[in-house]
């Protein structure tokens, strides 16, 4: 079954510890609801740098990638449906869904 990367961009930080705990509970319920479709439930990316052939700079873009999850789905449409149910969208962020391709070793 194909795997899809769900990339999290932007979004708002919780305003309080309680709000953060509520968001975490929503995320845990979402992950649980996916059952065996979840490959990686989520990996936060707290810091990043921009690397080009000309050098390295801070990634200060507010819409930078904040984390990712990996799911299994039969089609891109199914993966998009999974992403649409992700509680991250309630935090003002956006999600990019990309099909992953296995490379030969």
The pLDDT of residue 92 is 92
The pLDDT of residue 13 is 87
Average pLDDT of the residues in 31-50:
95
Count of structural domains within the chain: 1
Average pLDDT of the residues in 81-98:
96
Query: In this structure, is residue 104 part of a structural domain?
Result: no
Query: In this structure, is residue 28 part of a structural domain?
Result: yes
Residue where the block lists tokens 């968001």: 23
DSSP structural state of residue 75: S
Query: In this structure, is residue 105 part of a structural domain?
Result: no
Average pLDDT of the residues in 35-48:
95
Average pLDDT of the residues in 4-30:
94
- Expressed as residue numbers, the domain containing 66 is 3-99
Average pLDDT of the residues in 66-85:
97
Nearest to 3 by CA among 70, 86, 85: 70
The pLDDT of residue 68 is 97
The whole-angstrom separation of Cα 1 and Cα 7 is: 19
pLDDT of 85 strictly over 90: yes
- CATH number of the domain where residue 81 is located: 3.30.70.1060
Average pLDDT of the residues in 83-104:
95
Strand order in the sheet with 93-99: 38-44, 65-72, 3-10, 93-99
């Amino acid at each position: 079954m194909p795997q899809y990367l769900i990339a999290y961009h932007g979004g708002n930080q919780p305003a309080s510890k309680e709000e953060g705990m509520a968001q975490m509970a929503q995320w845990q319920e979402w992950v649980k609801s996916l059952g065996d479709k979840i490959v990686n439930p989520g990996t936060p990316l707290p810091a990043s740098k921009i690397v080009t052939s000309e050098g390295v700079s801070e990634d200060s873009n507010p819409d930078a990638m904040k984390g990712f999850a990996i799911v299994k789905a039969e089609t891109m449409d199914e993966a998009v449906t999974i992403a649409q149910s992700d509680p991250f969208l309630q935090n003002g962020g956006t999600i990019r869904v990309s099909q992953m391709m296995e490379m030969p070793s």
